Structure 1
Amino acid sequence: MIRNITLYLASAMLLLGTASCSPDDSIEQAAAQSVEQFEAAGVQGMKNDALFIAEATSANMLQVQLSELALEKAVSPEVKETAQVMGEGHRRLMEDLQNTAVQGGFVVPNELGRAHQKVYEQVSTETGIGFDLAYIKRIREEHDNLLNRYEDMAENAQVMEVKQFASKQLPLLRQHLQQTEALEERLGNI
């Protein structure tokens, strides 16, 4: 009992120490907290899996937030329709991700990481057709990055649940990337 309390207090102090090291990036904080928890439990080599779970959480929060923003600000019906599809898809993906994180004992950020926050801010400052073009360009770029990262984790994750999660999401991410590429091409010809 005392050992458990000591371990808990030590873990809490480590978590607080990590939070103070990089207070401005929720992805780094969550990944570091996950790694510390795994190492405290004697599990090594979890940095890549922990970083992926944290990055994926922030990236999916970004997709949901951008889709909500596009539903408000977009002028093109095609962009609004795409935003609706993206939002629904990434909400479902986020549910799967949360389940995977809980099952695997991973810490997830509850706010956007620094880079994702910058993307949101950049897109949100645009208006009119400029917003539509910026939104589609950024979600296409983000999906390209997501697809590469998920493909890597489908092959190289340490935790089987993380591998399975990443593999399961690949068809959706490929579909989203194709949709955004096609829409970006159509909008670019306006």
Structure 2
Amino acid sequence: MVAVAPGSTPVVGDTRLTSDLILHVNGHEHELSVDNRATLLDVLREDLGLPGTKKGCDHGQCGACTVLLNGRRVNSCLILAAGVRDAEVTTVEGLSVGDGFHPVQEAFVAHDALQCGYCTPGQVCSVVGMLDEVERGWPSILTADVTEESVKLDEAEIRERMSGNLCRCGAYVNIVAAVEEVAGR
């Protein structure tokens, strides 16, 4: 059923179930016609062939689908693709520097901060976004003094800020160590 404005009549063959849009993903423009109900996660994986972003719970609870939207971390399973016009989306595939890894990816490898690896792309994107939040001085619920311009990124602060990303394998100790290394650079 197509939603129709009050007082108007639906037209046979109405195409308002799709939207033509340009998505900016990892520095590239993609012209697409997407179903208005399609999530950003599904468009990234199915239409753009970017399998790094994972579908975990599909309810915004696990963080496996975390990407950066204009630099802010978001659960791509909760965002409609048609709603991200004029925004810059960065997936784990877009974090690498040339042929090398992003420093967060390097730290994850160095600290063995992954086991099965399913949550890793979302964890990595979340760390990148979280480090930007810290650099901007954004407090968390654990920040002792919100009037300070800088945030002390200790283990408790890292765990709180990463609490939206779950790891079924339990690699949290190594994830925290990887974040501490990158934050100390």
TM-score (norm 1): 0.28
Q: Which has the higher contact order (CA 8 A, sep 6+)?
A: 1
Q: Which has the higher strand share?
A: 2
